[in-house]
Structure 1
Amino acid sequence: MKTLEWTAGYEEYAQKLIEEFQVPGAIVAVAKDGILFYEKTFGYRDREKRWPIDLDTVFGIGSITKSFTCVAIMQLQEEGKLSVHDPVVTYLPEFRTPDEAHTREITIHHFMTHTPGLPPLPSLIPAMLQSLKADPTAEGLLSQFEKECSESIETYEQLMAYIADLPFELLGPPGTEFSYSNDAFGLLGAIIERVSGKPYETYVRERILQPLGMERSAFLVEEYDDPDNVAMLYTPRAGDGGTREVLRAPLWWDSPSMRAAGFLKASARDMLRYAEVFRTGGVSNGTRIIAKESAEQMMYPHARIDPVRSYGYGLGVLPFSEQLTLIQHTGGLKGITAQMLIVPEAGITGIVLTNVDDAPIGDLTLGLLNSLFDRPLSTQYAVFADVEKTVESLRQYPGRYRSGEGDEVTIRLDETDGRLVLVLDQSELPLRPIGEDAFLFSRRGIDTPVHFVRDAGGKVKRFALWSRQMPKVEEYTG
């Protein structure tokens, strides 16, 4: 892991990706046993003013915030104020789903592992409505969700009322189906607030950020004394002929009822300090933040996502090799793509931060890990053998799948080649069978497992892509 032996190859690889995706600015920082040993910046925190990036430049971290929320829950459990196995309705009696018995069975653990049985819901858009209305770059999103945005969701109580009134089909009994849920994590913030007696943001600041010395971390940019060292936000759009354009988009999106799901901001230096909590088993900056047992529980693979990935408490877990485990989480929102990584057995912690949404964060991170551990840049997290499928057996999968969050894909059957094709945005990606209802597609040299979910009668009902289960809304007739 001698720096000079791998940095040139990695930086050439990363620079090509950054140029291809027109990423205005990025920073990659890695520590070994708590000591920074690699730092590289690309581009600028403000492209037009050509202001540089440093370790203290503030970026959004998006859903990496979920791990902070789970640290708070573990602290409250250690104090005997709650248990992760308590029913959610113990603390949120007004929480409802379409099935009362199902609702009573949902525990805090299910919220923390994305397994309460909730499908992706459209609530995040009305929860961000006030900031979206102020942002000219959000016009398309507001138009897409016009029906859902008749009223904004400003409070936890409004979020619970919105979910209670929403018609949707539950995925399965609590604990049986993984599907990423911003709603569940937003409501963890409500539990923290009601149990601690403090606003969620205040609790996180006083119990996590301040003890760790994370002076460049906050939920609102207005809290920073030096806004000049806060990254400018950018967002991509399709220009003439479908070419990618990256626009300056300075307004930060916010959601008071969903801050626990993904609205913290931080610097690379702060995030390395935070990642130490998981490398060491709960200690950083000379302070024990959570007990060793709590850290281990957060990094335990409680819920299986796909053949490679699992989920702990606010953290993703996957084997990197026979000896190494990767603990990680990504984050994304307008102007934000981020990834935190920890390889505990090797003493490695790292952070990758960018100031544009849809940056190639997975590629940058996997390339970094492969470089650190002396593997070819193209090495995948896992290798799967192909499984033979007849054309007839593939006929049950085609259709249009759409989530409540607005994501939509089409699966079609290519009769000539005898394979399924995933139509995603403007790309057509062949699906390789790797198991029963399990497939894999490759994009930019990165393999991504996906799978289909059946109902009790054996009929294909949903498509699981990027941690979310998307219901089938239409049979494919093309």
Structure 2
Amino acid sequence: MGKQGWAVLFEAYAQKLIDEFRVPGAMVAVAKNGELFYEKAFGYRDREEQWPVNLDTVFGIGSITKSFSCVAIMQLQEQGKLSVHDPVVTYLPEFRTPDEEQTKAITIHHFMTHTLGFPPLPSLIPAMQRSLEADPTAADLLKAFEAQCQKPIDTFEELMAYIGDLSFELIGKPGEQFSYSNDAFGLLGAIVERVTGKSYEAYVKDHILQPLGMDRSVFHVEELGAVDNCAMLYTPKVQEGVREVLRAPLWWDSPSMRAAGFLKASARDMLQYAELFRTGGLGKGTRIISEESTAQMVTPHAKIDPLRSYGYGLGILPFSEGRTLVQHTGGLKGITAQMFIIPEEGITGILLTNMDDAPITDLTLGLLNSVFERPIDTQYATFANYEASLAELQTCTGTFKSGEGDEVKVRFDENEGKLVLILDKTELPLRPIEKDAFVFTRRGIDTVVHFVRNTEGEVKRFALFSRQLPKVEVVNA
């Protein structure tokens, strides 16, 4: 089947998803060995004005920004200005956790791999507070976090003070447990700033964006000037049982967490950036980081679940025979994005949308399956069943809640003899695949989850979507 054949199949699949979720606009672009070989724009960058999307339309990339922060750290390590194995307190002496010994033991490496031992904390909302207060669509979010938003977190120093004053239980010693931490990545920006004497944003612009010719990549869309071609933002809201997608023009921002997820970029620029991880650190004929640094970034340093691992600001998972998928997603209001690299095939790709909660995982897997001419519904991996004992299953029930506001319940279904996850009012059966690890299927996509026990064997946390949610109460079966 020629390119045209797979592209037709993918576009039909993608259009159906985009229509179902009412995604206003999306851009998909794939390169092979650095040459663009597929691009497709869907919908509009501005639905009301019907302005089209193209390769130069600027979208938010959310947490894909985290890999830029790690590139910056690797550059500074190459210059001898720091080592990833240095304790964080060397550069941020005011950084505190609930355990003084742990504080001293946390290194930059633990920040870059989300293994510092933090559960999800509520700090991102007060860190974005000023922009949320200006945004009518954020009223419900601000209300839900009213207790946490006594005052905005505007600086790195305020972020460290906020974390230092929080009472929370660490989930493990440094390096033991993976749980996604926006706080750690926000503070990587503070380390860059203190080591270089220039702002994080200026450093990234001078040492990554400009050398790569990424002139459509900015932290503030105002920097683009009159040329514009910038995506309007949209957010889905369920109102009286009906899902609507609302125009929501204001960009959320967080001065203390820009290093965690606030860069904006075009698809053309992002393909240029993804080249770093295909070529071993080269872009536009310029060496941005060394081959060794690039290799360290794509090394699976931390295990997320039985399928996925994490390098430095990049997720890593096997993809079919002998292929590795290096990738990261990003999401915030008006943003759902995914970047991927399959180094063995010379493939790089970017998917950008202008709505939060767009079905990016489905679109990416459908695209990869199409490119490699596999059935479009092929999963990333298949897992054999595991025979979990009744006692194992029954001890997993409970309510699990994170500081970021996510809450899920797990109950035991006596009739079916299985665990059920209640997520966004949807009941999803959990299929055991190994001890304490399960798979649920939603919209034909398998997601791996697992329970984390303490030394006494009690379930303390539930790992879902890369975050460990602490157990808050026992639910009767």
1:315-394 correspondence runs (5 A): 315-394=314-393
Tell me what 1:424 maps to: 423
CA RMSD of superposed structures (Å):
0.9
**Off by >6 Å, runs of 4+ in structure 1:** none
Alignment partner, residue 118 of structure 2: 118
Matches within 5 A, 1:142-161: 142-161=142-161
SS of the equivalent of 2:277 reads helix
TM-score, normalised via structure 2 length:
0.99
C-alpha separation in 2, matches of 1:135 and 1:477:
40
Farther-moved stretch of structure 1 (334-343 vs 231-240): 231-240
**Deviation digits for residues 332-360 of structure 1 (CA, Å, limit 9, x no counterpart):** 00000000000011000000000000000
Cα distance in 2 for residues equivalent to 1:353 and 1:346: 22
SS of 1:409's equivalent? strand
TM-score, normalisation: structure 1: 0.99
The corresponding residue for 2:63 is 63
Task: Identify the residue that residue 104 of structure 1 maps to in structure 2.
Answer: 104
Q: Does the 8 Å CA contact 1:390/1:418 hold for their aligned counterparts?
A: no
Q: 2:36 aligns to what?
A: 36
Given that 2:388 and 2:435 are in contact with CA atoms closer than 8 Å, whether structure 1 keeps it comes out as no
Alpha-carbon distance between aligned partners in 2 of 1:172 and 1:444, rounded to the nearest angstrom: 34
Distance in 1 separating the partners of 2:296 and 2:6: 34
2:72 equivalent in structure 1: 72
Task: Note if 1:404 corresponds to 2:364.
Answer: no
Between the aligned partners of 1:11 and 1:453, the Cα distance in structure 2 is: 40
The alignment partner of 1:441 has SS state of strand
Letter in 1 for 2:411: R
The answer to whether 1:177 aligns with 2:177 is yes
State the secondary structure of the residue aligned to 1:226: helix
Provide structure 1 residue ranges, at least 5 long, that are not aligned to the other structure. Answer: none
> How many Å separate the matches in 2 of 1:446 and 1:473?
28
Q: Equivalents in 2 of 1:227, 1:392: separation in Å?
A: 62
Secondary structure of 1:271's partner?
Answer: helix
> How far apart, in 2, do the equivalents of 1:164 and 1:139 lie?
27
Match of 1:262 in 2: 261
Aligned-residue offset at 1:286: 1.2
Structure 2 counterpart SS, 1:224: helix
What is the alpha-carbon distance in structure 1 between the residues aligned to residue 34 and residue 315 of structure 2? 21
Kindly indicate whether residue 3 of structure 2 is the aligned counterpart of residue 9 of structure 1: no
Partner Cα separation in structure 2 for residue 227 and residue 411 of structure 1: 50
| Per-residue deviation, 1:387 | 1.1
- Secondary structure at the aligned position of 1:229 is classed as coil
Residue 444 of structure 2 corresponds to which residue in structure 1?
445
CA-to-aligned-CA distance 1:61-108 (integer Å, 9 cap, x gap): 000000000000000000000000000000000000000000100000
User: What amino acid is the match of 2:143?
Assistant: S
For residue 209 of structure 1, what is the aligned residue in structure 2?
209
SS in structure 1 opposite 2:211? helix
Tell me the number of residue pairs that the alignment of Structure 1 and Structure 2 aligns.
Answer: 477
What is the SS of the residue equivalent to 1:44?
strand
> 1:231 maps to what in 2?
231
Aligned residue for 1:96, secondary structure, equals coil
Deviation at 1:31, TM superposition (A): 0.3
Alignment of 1:45-64 (within 5 A): 45-64=45-64
Overall identity of the aligned pairs, in %: 72
Contact 2:58–2:264 (Cα < 8 Å) also in 1:
yes
* Residue 221 (1) aligns with residue 221 (2): yes
Note the C-alpha offset of 1:114: 0.2
Deviations 1:258-297 (A, max 9, x none): 0000000000000000000110000011111000000010
**Which amino acid counterpart does residue 255 of structure 1 have in structure 2?**
S
Counterpart mapping for 1:11-26 below 5 A:
11-26=11-26
Residue 159 of structure 2 aligns with an amino acid whose one-letter code is L
